Amino acid sequence: MHGVKIPNSCRNSLKASLLIFPFNLNSTENHPVCYNVYGEFQDKDLYRKTFSDEEKRDRFLRWRIQFLEKSIRKLDFVTGGVSTICQVNDLKNSPGPGKTELRVATKQALHLLQDNYPEFISKQIFINVPWWYLAFYRIISPFMTQRSKSKLVFSGPSRSAETLFKYISPEHVPVQYGGLSVDNCDCNSDFTHEDTATEFTVKPTTKQTVEIIIYERCTIVWEIRVVGWEVMYGAEFVPENKEGYTVIIQKPRKMASGDEPVVTQTFKVGEVGKILLTVDNPTSNKKILIYRFKVFFNTSYFS
C-alpha cells in the first residue's frame, strides 16, 4: 500500500505527524503497518495550529478518519485476504499530560475508532511509552470495550524494538525503531524488504558468533546490527583448508549506541570456508542481534 494525498489544511500536521511512514511495510501476518509519530507536537507553533481550538481539532480528526477510510478501501476483503491494519504509535517526546487539547483529541480518536472501525485494526502498538501515558490510559480504559483493549500493546523505550519484532519482521521495521528498513533513497540496493532477516538474543556478558558457510567462489554481502549496540563486533573469513590463512574482515571494535545503526559489509571469497561474525556483549543487559546476507555468483562482483 502507498500513502494517500494529504489535504492542504493538514499539511502542517503531516510535518509532525501521524503519518511519517505510509502503508508499505507489513506485519508478520501481512497486515499493512502505519507508524503514527507524536514527538513533533513538541513544536509549539505546530501544536497551536493543530489543536488550539475545537475547529482545528475537528479538522485534524476528519483528516485522520479520511486517511483511514482511504487506506481501508485498499485492503483485500476476499476470503483469506488481508482486511485489517496494524498501527504503531511512537510516543517518544510526545507532549506531556499538561497538553489537554492533545489528550482530548486522542480520546476522541479512540472513541471514533472503537465505535466505527472496530474490525479494521488488528493491533495498536504503543512504543517509547512514558509513565504518564500509562496513567492516562488507566483513566480512559474503563470507557473502552474489552475487544478494543485486547488489541492494545504498550512498551517502554528499552523494549520497544523487542516488542515490535513480535508483530513485525525486522526487515520491515524502520531503522530508527531497531529494524533494517530504510527509505528507498537510502536503501542498500543489494537488499529489499523481501530479504528476510534472522533475529536472536545475545545474553548478558556472553559472546555470539554467526557462522555463514561458503561452498564456492562468490561475493557475500551482509547487514548486521545489534539494537542499541554497546558491544564489540568483528568479522573474519576462515578457509576450510587448514593450511590457508584467516582473513580479518573487521577488526573487533566497540560499537557505541551512537554509531551507525546498521553495518553493511562485502567480502569476495576465492575458496571454500566460512564467514564468522562475532558479537561480544559485555553488558548486564540482553541484546537483540539482527542479520541477513546474500551470496552473489555474478562475476561482475569480482571486477
Q: Could you say which residues of the chain have pLDDT below 70?
A: 1-28, 79-81, 118, 183-188, 298-303
Residue 187 is predicted with a pLDDT of 52
DSSP string, 81-118: S---EEEEEE-TT---TT-HHHHHHHHHHHHHHHHH-T
Give residues with Cβ within 8 angstroms of 259, minimum separation 6. 229
Residue 298 is predicted with a pLDDT of 63
- Could you report the per-residue pLDDT of 29-81, keeping only the tens digit for each? 777 888 888 888 888 898 888 888 989 989 988 888 888 887 777 777 776 66
Residue 30 is predicted with a pLDDT of 74
**Helix runs in the chain, H state only:** 11-14, 44-51, 54-72, 100-116, 131-140, 146-150, 160-167
Residue 21 is predicted with a pLDDT of 44
Residue-range domains of the chain with CATH: 8-185 (3.40.525.10), 195-302 (2.60.120.680)
Which pTM value belongs to this model?
A: 0.83
Residue 9 is predicted with a pLDDT of 41
Residue 6 is given by DSSP the state: P
> Any idea how long the chain is?
303
Residue 188 is predicted with a pLDDT of 59
**Distance (Å, whole) CA 103 – CA 110:** 11
